[in-house]
Structure 1
């Protein structure tokens, strides 16, 4: 008997429906923040602090900081080192690294529900790879900007 398979979702990454962004942000509880920095002047630090203040569990990922703490949270070297499932992977790495992060994220069991790349971080091929694996993607956006805009 043939099993029906849902075709991979195709999202226009130039413009996101507010309902799509809201759904991702509301279904997310645990976020792996790739490229987390202990430097308060870095955007990743400010976004991590914002997400923590909104009640999310945020797990920093940075191989150079592994075993240390950022904002009281233990830092892991890779996504695979995180000892619990994550709902979202928030990426603070340059666009050329996004595909490697996507590959690492979709290898997780269970897979995250979404991958969110920060402002100016975009790789359409990486997005297609994630979406083909059933993972929602948002690129070139910041949850710390989108949440207030969406009233979340």
Structure 2
């Protein structure tokens, strides 16, 4: 099973770092799509309390205080310069709540931080859109001929 398929099929919880209330922003419409296909979404944005009808938290630690449990996939919509600090925060978490995967959206990479996450047992997908990858994994629709 490919890494992407494994991540998307074995994790139903997605923690979205950098979730925007603006429907024109990728973090908003990508997250809305992932909600529509059944993922449990938790937003992290220090300037918001609710986005997409869901509670939004100031930080991952605040999220874990209110909603304990493993983070599943941490899907990041922040620029690359913020990735090392985020990885430090994720690695410092107790293993039972540490995410199974760190997903850096299209255009986001930080090789040394990605390597540190992998060394800590966190799978990493970088520079890829989670919505596009999910759609690529969806089974093809059946076509019906008019007979």
Please classify the TM superposition score into its range, dividing by the shorter chain length.
Answer: 0.7 to 0.9
Task: Give the gaps of 5 or more residues in structure 2.
Answer: 140-147
- Counterparts of 1:1-12 in structure 2, within 5 Å, are none
Helix, strand or coil: the match of 1:63?
coil
RMSD: 1.2
Deviation of the 1:151 alpha carbon: 2.0
Deviation of the 1:59 alpha carbon: 0.5
* Matches of 2:47 and 2:58, distance apart in 1: 7
Give yes or no for the alignment of 1:107 onto 2:88.
Answer: no
* Matches of 1:31 and 1:106, distance apart in 2: 17
Query: Moved runs in structure 1, 4+ residues, more than 6 A?
Result: none
Residue 29 (structure 2) aligns with: 46
**Which of 83, 100, 125 is residue 138 of structure 1 equivalent to?**
125
* Matches of 1:127 and 1:76, distance apart in 2: 24
Once the two structures are overlaid, the 10-residue window that deviates more, 29-38 or 106-115, is 106-115
- Counterparts of 1:30-45 in structure 2, within 5 Å, are 30-45=13-28
* Matches of 2:91 and 2:37, distance apart in 1: 26
Once the two structures are overlaid, the 10-residue window that deviates more, 120-129 or 99-108, is 99-108
Task: Give the gaps of 5 or more residues in structure 1.
Answer: 1-17
Task: With the length of structure 1 as denominator, give the TM-score of the two structures.
Answer: 0.84
Deviation of the 1:99 alpha carbon: 1.1
* Matches of 2:50 and 2:6, distance apart in 1: 30
Aligned residues: 133
- Mark the structure with the bigger radius of gyration: 2
Q: Deviations over 1:39-64 (max 9, x none)?
A: 11110000110110011111010111
* Matches of 1:84 and 1:29, distance apart in 2: 15
